[in-house]
Structure 1
Amino acid sequence: MSDGVRLRIRVLGEGAPVLLIHGWTLAHEVWDRPMRVLAAAGHRAIAIDLRGHGDSDAPLSGYHVEQLAADAAAVLRAVTAEPATVVGWSLGGLTALRMAHAYPELVAKIVTVASVGAAHVRHEAYPYGPPAGDMAESALRSFEFADRIRFRRKAIGDLFKDVPAAHVLDWLHNMSLRTPGWVADACLSTLFRTEQTGLLEAIAMPFCQIVGAHDPGLSVEGAQWVQQQVDGKLIELDCGHYPMLECADDFDEALLSLL
């Protein structure tokens, strides 16, 4: 990156590029199965670890959505010469929309997963989803600081539709703990404070969404509202915040249909 931060990427397959961006405190491994499916279908799957996550460098700062989008754009420039479909899950959905607005020459299509792209919590311009506000943000950040290990496990497990299998939760929890506390804290602020509904009207490329009908962290009504503002398709699946894990077959079919 321009500031010297090194990002871990994984590339699989040949064909039209698809950039996969993970969510808060996780890493490129969440895309293991979708990468195989995309490559088998003739796409070039590119998964990244956002700065501070997975095996990427973890500086003290630089976790606002503009920087995350700039990082992802730099990866695309380095890996492919053609515009990519950008698939962003959760925090990655905010990043994908910002990329499409700031670097439209690099983005052929947006697919947000468990994210509406415009915001993660309620704002004046987006009155949907979990409550926002300084108190809610402060409580989560305090929990992360006071008991990081317990907080991460709860924050991950609570977003499934049904209680996840122990080995699945263990896997995600261990992945999350690779993200340092200062990164998780900064990215919580990004999740709470990013509001970019004003970007929707300027998005010229297709903008599609895959959401879980039982996602505690997302408003389906909000996703429907966003879809009315853009050109694309909304697909609702019978799951929570982790469609690629909770209903993998349906997710694979949905993602391929949008490509």
Structure 2
Amino acid sequence: MQRRDLLLTAATATFAATGARAAAPETPRSRVRCSDGATLHCEDWGSGRPVLFVHAWALTSAMWTYQMADLSHRGLRCIAFDRRGHGRSDIPGSGYDLDRLADDIAEVIAQCDLDDVALVGMSMGCNEIVNYVARHGTARIARIAMLGPTTPYPLQTADNALGAPKAYFEQSWATWQSDFPKWIEDNKLPFFTPETSPQMMEWVAAMMRQTPIPVAVATNRALITTDLRPVLARIDRPVLILHGDRDVSAPLEMTGRPTVRGIKGAALKIYPGGPHGLFVTHMKQVNADLAAFLA
């Protein structure tokens, strides 16, 4: 047999094996069916103490790829799911309020049989985690890590001068509904550092472009209109907050510092020069800090 034939045979075998895997029934942990009928896609890597990742607004569980690869190699079981309306999860016509999203976390925890689980969230994922505590408590939670949180309340009100005016958010929603890809492109550079590769920036931007516009608006509206300040004091588990001091999406003084002040015993680590996208721009340091905290 010629070498070319050998290569073709190997390629055919690989394709057949991959196709067989793709066609095989999904494991119970790969799909979570919520009580309202929506189905969520889950990734589940490694074994050991469980860590559940909750992704940022308009991204997917894929954003945690580099953290899951590192931490599963260190002996942790890493689980991440696509928020409803995102990635490979269902896109129902409702259920994008923060209460339903917190209940989705509870259903993932229950159906994946997670106890003594560490929760790791970024940006809006932190709001969902905090609201999970409000609705379900911390009985199954060991600790919580937050990257660039948008907690506790990003909306400016009479008693919350740190927030942004509602008109600012309304303008963003209107822009997204007219040209979301252009808005992403116009605003992507501050999310990264000058050293971030164009390919990495495009990978993240492509995730955002997948998000349906009604979902992007509905989830962002839920994020900015839900006041989580009263809940912070109810968090009775160790909390680590990682925040860049050049975060434009979630400015440190608006979100990170108020969050750490509201949680008894919470630790804040500031990344000098760090933007919002710490999970890729400061990947090695984030992975090391998470590993130390989760250990």
TM-score bracket, shorter-length normalisation? over 0.9
Shift in Å, 1:217: 1.8
Residue of structure 1 equivalent to 2:106: 73
Aligned AA (1:242): G
Deviates more, 1:95-104 or 1:85-94: 95-104
The equivalent position to 1:250 in structure 2, one of 285, 290, 294, is: 285
Q: How does 1:135-154 map to 2 (within 5 A)?
A: 135-154=167-186
Residue of structure 2 equivalent to 1:170: 202
Shift in Å, 1:152: 2.8
Shift in Å, 1:157: 3.7
Residue of structure 2 equivalent to 1:42: 75
The whole-number CA distance in structure 1 between the counterparts of 2:226 and 2:286 is: 26
The whole-number CA distance in structure 2 between the counterparts of 1:39 and 1:200 is: 29
The whole-number CA distance in structure 1 between the counterparts of 2:129 and 2:261 is: 18
The equivalent position to 1:219 in structure 2, one of 232, 244, 251, is: 251
The whole-number CA distance in structure 2 between the counterparts of 1:105 and 1:155 is: 40
Deviates more, 1:152-161 or 1:10-19: 152-161
The whole-number CA distance in structure 2 between the counterparts of 1:185 and 1:15 is: 37
Residue of structure 1 equivalent to 2:4: none
Shift in Å, 1:128: 2.8
TM-score normalised by L of structure 1: 0.92
The whole-number CA distance in structure 2 between the counterparts of 1:91 and 1:102 is: 17
The whole-number CA distance in structure 2 between the counterparts of 1:127 and 1:38 is: 38
SS at match of 1:216: coil
TM-score normalised by L of structure 2: 0.82
SS at match of 1:218: coil
Q: Is the 1:157–1:164 contact (alpha carbons within 8 Å) kept by the matching residues of 2? A: no
The whole-number CA distance in structure 1 between the counterparts of 2:203 and 2:213 is: 18
- Cα gap change, 1:125 to 1:116, in 2 (>3 Å): farther
Q: Is the 1:144–1:151 contact (alpha carbons within 8 Å) kept by the matching residues of 2? A: yes
The whole-number CA distance in structure 2 between the counterparts of 1:47 and 1:125 is: 35
Q: Is the 2:84–2:91 contact (alpha carbons within 8 Å) kept by the matching residues of 1? A: yes
Residue of structure 1 equivalent to 2:59: 26
Q: Which residues of structure 1 form unaligned runs of 5+? A: none
Aligned AA (1:148): F
Aligned AA (1:21): V
The Cα RMSD (Å) is 1.8
The whole-number CA distance in structure 2 between the counterparts of 1:136 and 1:218 is: 14
The whole-number CA distance in structure 1 between the counterparts of 2:70 and 2:112 is: 20
SS at match of 2:39: coil
Aligned length: 257
SS at match of 1:51: coil
The whole-number CA distance in structure 2 between the counterparts of 1:49 and 1:32 is: 13
Aligned AA (1:15): G
The whole-number CA distance in structure 2 between the counterparts of 1:153 and 1:234 is: 30
Shift in Å, 1:24: 1.1
Q: Is the 1:160–1:215 contact (alpha carbons within 8 Å) kept by the matching residues of 2? A: no
Shift in Å, 1:124: 4.5
Shift in Å, 1:164: 4.3
Residue of structure 2 equivalent to 1:197: 229
Q: Is the 2:124–2:150 contact (alpha carbons within 8 Å) kept by the matching residues of 1? A: no
Deviates more, 1:43-52 or 1:226-235: 226-235
Q: Is the 1:207–1:233 contact (alpha carbons within 8 Å) kept by the matching residues of 2? A: yes
- Cα gap change, 1:117 to 1:15, in 2 (>3 Å): farther
Q: Is the 2:192–2:201 contact (alpha carbons within 8 Å) kept by the matching residues of 1? A: no
The equivalent position to 2:162 in structure 1, one of 128, 135, 139, is: 128
- Cα gap change, 1:163 to 1:192, in 2 (>3 Å): farther
- Cα gap change, 1:7 to 1:125, in 2 (>3 Å): farther
Identity %: 25
- Cα gap change, 1:233 to 1:125, in 2 (>3 Å): farther
